[in-house]
Amino acid sequence: MELGLLAAGIGAGIIAIGAGIGIGMIGKGAVESIARQPEASGDIRGAMILTAAFIEGVALIGAIICILLALGVGG
Amino acid sequence: MAKHYAALANPLVFQHVSVSQSLSSLRIALASILFIVGWSLIGVPANATTTAYDEAAETEESSSPIDVMGKIADHDYIESPFGKVYLPRIFWVEGQLYTYANTKKALESGEFIDKEGTLYRADNTPVTIDMSITSHLVYVWLGFILALLISLWAASRYRRGIGRTSAPKGALHNIYEILYLFIRDDVIQGYIPKEKAPRYTPLLFSMFMAIAFMNLFGLLPWAATATADLTVTATLAFVTFVVTQASGTKTYWGHVFNFPGVPLLVKFILTPVEILGLFTKPLALCFRLFANMLSGKIMIISILGLIFIFTDLFGATVGVGSSVIWVALTSVLYILKVFVALLQAYIFTLLSAVFIGGALEEHHHEEHDHDHEDLTKMDTVQA
Amino acid sequence: MMMSLFLAGSSLLSFNTGFAIWILISLIVFLGIMYKFALPPIIKGIEERETSIQSSLDAAEKALRDAEKIAKDNEDVVREAERAAQKIRKEATKEVEEFRAERLEKAKEDAEKLIEDAKKSIDQEKQKALNELRKEVADLTIEATTRLLQKNVDSETNRKLIDETINDLSKN
Q: Which of A30, A61, A63 sits opposite B32 (nearest CB)?
A: A63
B382 has pLDDT over 70: no
Q: Rounded distance, CA B113 to CA B120, Å?
A: 5
pLDDT digits (tens, 9 = 90+) for B27-78: 555 555 554 444 444 433 333 333 334 444 444 444 556 677 777 888 888 8
8 A C-beta contact, residue C2 and residue B45: no
Per-residue model confidence (pLDDT) at position B25:
54
DSSP classification of residue C152: G
More confident residue, A75 or C61: C61
Per-residue model confidence (pLDDT) at position B349:
93
Burial B203-238 (b: 16+ CB within 10 A, else e): bbbbbbbbbbbbbbbbbeeebbbbbbbbbbbbbbbb
C75 has pLDDT over 90: yes
Q: Rounded distance, CA C63 to CA B366, Å?
A: 39
Q: C99 at the B interface (CB within 8 A)?
A: no
DSSP classification of residue B126: B
Contact C10 A73 (CB under 8 A): yes
Q: Rounded distance, CA C59 to CA B241, Å?
A: 45
Mean pLDDT of the C34-57 span:
89
Judge residue C41's burial from the number of C-beta atoms within 10 Å of its C-beta, 0-12 exposed, 13-18 middle, 19 or more buried. buried
Q: Which of B118, B24, B27, B34 is nearest to B68 (CA)?
A: B34
B207: pLDDT confidence band, cut at 50, 70 and 90? very high
Q: Rounded distance, CA A61 to CA A67, Å?
A: 10
B236: pLDDT confidence band, cut at 50, 70 and 90? very high
Give contacts of A 32-71 with C, CB under 8 A: 64, 67-68, 71
Other Cβ atoms closer than 10 A to B281: 24
**Domains present along chain A, CATH in parentheses:** 2-71 (1.20.20.10)
Q: Which of A9, A53, A66 sits opposite B347 (nearest CB)?
A: A53
pLDDT digits (tens, 9 = 90+) for C116-127: 999 999 999 989
Per-residue model confidence (pLDDT) at position B143:
93
Contacts of A64 in chain C (CB under 8 A): 13
In degrees, rounded to 5, the angle at the alpha carbon of residue A29 between the alpha carbons of residues A27 and A33 is: 115
Contacts of C36 in chain B (CB under 8 A): none
Distance from CA of A21 to the nearest CA of B (A): 9
Contacts of B116 in chain C (CB under 8 A): 3, 7
C3: pLDDT confidence band, cut at 50, 70 and 90? very low
For the complex shown, is ipTM > 0.90? no
Q: Which of B48, B64, B65 is nearest to B56 (CA)?
A: B48
Residues of A with CB under 8 A from a CB of B: 5, 8-9, 11-13, 15-16, 19-20, 23-24, 27, 30, 41-42, 45-46, 48-61, 63-64, 66-67, 70
Contacts of C1 in chain B (CB under 8 A): 43-46, 48
Q: Which of B378, B357, B5, B313 is nearest to B176 (CA)?
A: B5
C11 has pLDDT over 80: no
More confident residue, B161 or B23: B161
Q: Which of A31-45, B97-111, C53-67 has the lowest mean pLDDT?
A: B97-111
Would you give the distance in Å from CA B246 to the centre of its chain?
23
Antiparallel, parallel or unpaired: β B118-121 and B77-80: unpaired
C161: pLDDT confidence band, cut at 50, 70 and 90? confident
* Amino acid (1-letter code) at residue C55: S
B229: pLDDT confidence band, cut at 50, 70 and 90? confident
C89 has pLDDT over 50: yes
Q: Rounded distance, CA B243 to CA B237, Å?
A: 10
B246 has pLDDT over 80: yes
pLDDT digits (tens, 9 = 90+) for A27-73: 999 999 999 999 988 888 888 888 888 888 788 778 878 877 877 66
Would you give the distance in Å from CA B7 to the centre of its chain?
27
Per-residue model confidence (pLDDT) at position C150:
67
More confident residue, B101 or C4: B101
- Domain layout of chain C by residue ranges: 39-171
